[in-house]
Amino acid sequence: MTRLLIALLSAALLLTACSVTDFDSLSTASIVRPKFQDNDPVDFGARHPHRHDIHGIDVSKWNGDIDWRAARGSGVSFAFIKATEGKDRIDSGFERNWRQAAAADVPHAPYHFYYFCSTADDQADWFIRNVPKASVRLPPVLDVEWNHASPTCKLRPDSTTVRAAMQRFMDRIEAHYGKRPIIYTTVDFHRDNLVGHFDDYHFWIRSTAAHPEDIYASRRWAFWQYTATGVVPGVPGNTDINVFAGTEKNWRTWLASVGG
């Protein structure tokens, strides 16, 4: 019966986006409560992210040499790790980070920063070439946002072109890794391209000034990046902190459904 329940949950969760109430519950062990701080905290009112049970980080080479065991001990329950960008860039900290996260038993996923001056196939080829399946414990992430600071690519395709490119990239990645990708995005990019689309994908959204329900039109989300100025034991300097939408029991169920 337990195997049947997990199988049914897996099928349902892979076909639907999620919110706080979308996950069934199973009995689980306790998760360490976060011991984080914030150098520039925001008052989110009654819907503060600290009310969520499951917190995690997203990191790249810019975070330096992370003590993953210390991070896990401080309450880091998951990590999104930058892997690639465009069709020819790999994050120099990727291999170190995913191997050490795995050794510390931190569920983790690689993410790709999409570059609108390269094709979806070129970028999917690059990601597949550089991201081993062993590093994909959680579903891989497609990071789509307008990069205002890019010195080489100012291109902003129309929304139809954007969505077609995203779909092509995600189809390629899902076919190779066997996990449906998560979409990371920002307020302006979501407003310009994604409202009313990709409802059968999990979303990881950035919202550092207000609760997501206030600024993302009708978007159900799985992960919320709520600060870029977090202080996490084991992580040098400021870091991004995220929460999972559901409870601790929901988290365990979701991990089982995605093979994490």
pLDDT recorded at residue 30: 52
pLDDT recorded at residue 37: 94
Which residue is it, tokens 């210390």? 70
Residues with catalytic roles? 58, 145
Question: Contact, 111 vs 82, CB < 8 A?
Answer: yes
Alpha carbon distance 30, 20 (integer Å): 19
Q: Which tokens sit at 192?
A: 């310009």
**What are the contacts of 7-12 at 24+ separation with CB within 8 A?**
9/253, 9/256, 9/257, 10/256, 10/257, 10/258
Helix, strand, coil fractions of the chain, as percent rounded to 5: 35, 20, 45
User: Furthest-apart CA pair in the chain: how many Å?
Assistant: 55
Nearest CA to 74 out of 230, 260, 259, 254 is that of 230
- CA torsion 98-101-106-112 (nearest 10°) is -30
Question: Contact, 207 vs 163, CB < 8 A?
Answer: no
The overall pTM is greater than 0.85: yes
pLDDT recorded at residue 26: 34
pLDDT truncated to tens, each residue of the chain (260 aa)? 444 334 434 444 443 444 443 433 333 345 777 889 999 999 999 999 999 999 999 999 999 999 999 999 999 999 999 999 999 999 999 999 999 999 999 999 999 999 999 999 999 999 999 999 999 999 999 999 998 778 888 899 999 999 999 999 999 999 999 999 999 999 999 999 999 999 999 999 999 999 999 999 889 999 999 999 999 999 999 999 999 999 999 999 999 999 86
Residue type, 131: V
Does an H or E element contain 252, and which? helix 248-258
Question: Contact, 189 vs 215, CB < 8 A?
Answer: no
